[in-house]
């Protein structure tokens, strides 16, 4: 008995079928191999990230970026029940350390974004003029760049930063703390309001609320105004000096003493005379 392999038998049958169709004037292309066609290889080293979001074996999982460690992930928004819980704890918590411990446990239990909750709490501290609690919360942030971003993040419909809220309250010590952490003194929101305009609005509101303490309120806001103007002047001078340094570096002329310069001029004159004679 002749043993015929399946592949060779399939080739013979397909060849006979082609010959029969050629007689009728038609040609049909038939794949001689019955194996499944291979899928095209993707150029990316992580095929799971391009095709689907599921993780495959032997492929490293994509690393989630956290804004706490200094990456570029933008913070989101807290829900209203979470805000109410944190606000209630701010009002009734006995100390700063206990509140920080409670906040850590609350973030872990509710699976919240760390930097989002920290930013919201910093805004509330600047509203309440609670300096010790704000310092304790800023210590939870590891990197300085992340702390600077958190301090300069606006919130609310007016897009106020924590520095704007401290200027509205007229708190000089909170202004100094936020500026030391990298707060932007030249910030203006989408409505065109800067620190000076928010400070004038805060002065008017505080005078309406506490009219009897007019002298103390004006003194407090005058100190804040003087501090912010000095800081803005300092920032302007530093930016101008940096711009001048860049210009000088672009047009740099090496220093040469007078004797060397005279010798160079004599050599240049001699070379020109020589070329003119030739």
Query: Nearest Cα to 60, choosing from 75, 68, 49, 50?
Result: 49
Question: What single-letter DSSP state applies at residue 212?
Answer: G
What does the mean pLDDT of the chain come to?
79
Mean per-residue pLDDT for 197-210? 92
What pLDDT, on a 0 to 100 scale, did the predictor assign at position 156?
A: 85
Q: Which percentage of the chain shows pLDDT scores above 70?
A: 72
Q: Which of 75-89, 134-148, 215-229 is least confident?
A: 75-89
Mean per-residue pLDDT for 93-119? 91
Mean per-residue pLDDT for 146-158? 90
What pLDDT, on a 0 to 100 scale, did the predictor assign at position 137?
A: 92
> Cβ of 239: how many Cβ atoms within 10 Å?
11
Ranked by mean pLDDT, the top range of 9-13, 63-67, 93-97, 198-202 is 198-202
**270, pLDDT greater than 50:** yes
What pLDDT, on a 0 to 100 scale, did the predictor assign at position 68?
A: 44
Burial class (CB in 10 A: 0-12, 13-18, 19+), 123: buried
In the chain, domain spans: 74-243
What is the fold, at CATH topology level, of the domain defined by 74-243? Answer: 1.25.40
Residues 6+ apart with CB under 8 A from 230: none
Ranked by mean pLDDT, the top range of 29-38, 58-67, 101-110, 206-215 is 101-110
Indicate if the alpha-carbon torsion angle 223, 225, 229, 232 is positive or negative.
Answer: positive
What pLDDT, on a 0 to 100 scale, did the predictor assign at position 278?
A: 72
Mean per-residue pLDDT for 113-141? 92
Q: Which of 40-44, 88-92, 140-144, 192-196 is least confident?
A: 40-44
Residues 6+ apart with CB under 8 A from 33: 7
Q: Whole-angstrom Cα distance, residue 161 to residue 148?
A: 12
Question: What single-letter DSSP state applies at residue 80?
Answer: H
């Amino acid at each position: 008995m002749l043993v015929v392999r399946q592949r060779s038998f399939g080739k013979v049958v397909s060849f006979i079928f082609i010959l029969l169709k050629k007689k009728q004037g038609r040609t049909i292309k038939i794949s001689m191999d019955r194996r499944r066609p291979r899928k095209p290889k993707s150029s990316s080293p992580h095929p799971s990230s391009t095709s689907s979001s599921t993780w495959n074996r032997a492929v490293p999982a994509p690393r989630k970026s956290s804004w706490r460690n200094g990456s570029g992930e933008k913070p989101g928004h807290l829900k209203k029940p979470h805000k109410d819980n944190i606000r209630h704890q701010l009002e009734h918590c006995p100390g700063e350390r206990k509140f920080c411990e409670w906040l850590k446990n609350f973030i872990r239990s509710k699976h919240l974004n760390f930097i989002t909750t920290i930013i919201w709490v910093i805004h509330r501290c600047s509203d309440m003029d609670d300096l010790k609690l704000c310092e304790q919360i800023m210590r939870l942030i590891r990197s300085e760049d992340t702390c600077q971003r958190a301090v300069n993040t606006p919130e609310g419909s007016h897009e106020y930063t924590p520095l704007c809220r401290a200027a509205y309250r007229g708190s000089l010590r909170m202004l100094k703390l936020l500026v030391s952490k990298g707060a932007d003194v030249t910030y203006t929101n989408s409505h065109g309001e800067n620190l000076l305009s928010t400070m004038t609005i805060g002065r008017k509101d505080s005078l309406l609320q506490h009219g009897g303490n007019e002298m103390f309120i004006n003194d407090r806001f005058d100190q804040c105004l003087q501090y912010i103007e000095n800081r803005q002047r300092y920032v302007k001078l530093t930016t101008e000096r940096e711009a001048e340094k860049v210009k000088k570096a672009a047009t740099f002329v090496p220093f040469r003493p007078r004797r060397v310069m005279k010798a160079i001029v004599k050599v240049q004159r001699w070379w020109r005379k020589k070329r003119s004679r030739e």
